Amino acid sequence: MGSLTLRRGRTSHLAENLNSKAFFVVKRMESILSYAQKIVLNNIPKRKREIPSTGRHTYVINSHIIQDEYNSIVENPFGDTSSNVTIIIPCHNEEKGIRSTIESCLKQTRKPLQILIVNDGSTDGSAKIIDEYSNFVDVVTISKATGNKSFAQEIGLKYVKGDIFFATDGDTILDSRAVEEVEKTFAKDPEVVAVGGYVKSLKYNWLTACRELDYIVGQNLHKVAQSNIDAVFVIPGCAGAFKTDIFKEYIRFDHDTLTEDLDFTYKLHKNYFKIAYNRDVVTYTQDPDKLGQYINQMRRWYGGGWQNLKKHYSVIGKPNNSLQLSLTYVEGLIFSAALFIFPLINIKFFQFFLLPYLAFLLVLGLYGAILRRRWDLLLYSPTYLVLVFVNAWVFLEQFWKEIVLQKTNLVWFHPERRENKTI
């Protein structure tokens, strides 16, 4: 195909230097070559159509695009044996993201045993998109929305066939090696009960760039340190894998907090289960691109954080947990309060404080730009200063509501979705 294109290009170039009669001949040659190219291309033998049965599932191919993608799975270095991993995807009105999520699951280098989608009362086009993949995925449909992701996950868990289940979201794209890395982590250390993965934010605007900076600091520094002293405190909701039997017996779903991932992690700590952190289990997630939605999401995350700390306060009884939780919550609380008190006391001192903070953000932005090869991280890094105040305010607000006033909010916030742009 490449050589044909090259010949065409060469004849076109020559045509510019020939007289009109010769030009006609050359054009005629071009059309003949074009015709020959079509004939050759149409007669290239098509790729293998039959997908071997895995023993539990027989896949039938409907879509041409999926055919090609699926063939790449069959041709993976592990052969055609599937892993023991179920990917569970709760889905509520995810028509913009669910297709890319499913396709990323189908593109895994290590084939998942089962892809389980829990359609949590979607009223948009999600169900129609899921139906297109009905030959590849198992679908559990809940007729009325449960209003909380953990309800959907709980229902889905009943249908999990794998010994390990990988929890992700309907707006998340899995890296092609995610399942393979999950399996490797569990195989490396049999004591490991859960694996926390690495989340990257899909590029969109300044807010998602700032969120990516958050992820870089959180996952390349804090979580590595936490992992060193066995005190990993968040297994991300969109990148967490668990041993199914232990999860069913010890963890379960309580539905009494806004952040189910934190709830799982605290319970694992209380039961002395080992949590591994693997930075090679990568997922890409959509983060809010509007400030209002960002604030709502932060309310859910911070509110859920305080709810879980209140619920599982006894985890502080272990010094390693105590150190990390204090650094997170005590420092967060005092710093947030100071951020609003200092300008009232001395504006000059506050200005001097902001300058080093800005310098730190620029260094972080540069590091992020080099690490991710995304120069927008450097460009937008100063805007993170705005979010420092936003985060601090929401953190204090949620502390006041959840801890001081004891008003527990369990209303799930569902941000607006968008078409995935780039990874």
Partner 1 sequence: MPAVPTGGLSIFVNIAIVLIGYIVKSLKKMGFHLRSGGFIYNLFVDKKFDNYFRRILGYGVAVLLFVMMFSVTSFSIYKRIVDGSNIQIVKEQIEKVRLAHENSNEDQFVSLESKGLVVKSSSSIAVKK
Binding site for partner 1 (CB under 8 A): 211, 214-215, 217-218, 221-222, 224-226, 228-231, 234, 259, 261-262, 272, 301-302, 304-305, 316-323, 325-332, 334-339, 341-342, 344-349, 360, 388, 391-392, 395
- Name the token pair of 298: 């932060």
Q: Which of 115, 221, 202 is nearest to 160 (CA)?
A: 115
Closest distance of CB 85 from partner 1, Å: 24
Residue placing its CB nearer to partner 1 in the complex, 176 or 278: 278
Q: Where do the DSSP E strands lie in 27-135? A: 85-91, 114-120
Closest distance of CB 233 from partner 1, Å: 8
Residue placing its CB nearer to partner 1 in the complex, 218 or 382: 218
Residue placing its CB nearer to partner 1 in the complex, 69 or 214: 214
CB 113 within 8 A of CB 86: yes
Closest distance of CB 51 from partner 1, Å: 40
Closest distance of CB 328 from partner 1, Å: 6
The three-point CA angle 177-179-181 to 5° equals 65
Residue placing its CB nearer to partner 1 in the complex, 330 or 423: 330
* Largest interatomic CA distance in the chain: 92
Torsion from C-alpha of 242, 247, 252, 256, nearest 10 degrees: -40
Residue placing its CB nearer to partner 1 in the complex, 251 or 392: 392
Closest distance of CB 309 from partner 1, Å: 11
Count the alpha carbons within 13 Å of 293 in the hemisphere toward its beta carbon: 13
Q: Which of 391, 341, 69 is nearest to 210 (CA)?
A: 391
Amino acid at 422: T
Closest distance of CB 116 from partner 1, Å: 25
Note the helical H segments in 111-239. 126-132, 149-157, 178-188, 206-217, 223-228
CB 94 within 8 A of CB 126: yes
Residue placing its CB nearer to partner 1 in the complex, 101 or 336: 336
Closest distance of CB 52 from partner 1, Å: 42
CB 245 within 8 A of CB 152: no
Residue placing its CB nearer to partner 1 in the complex, 177 or 222: 222
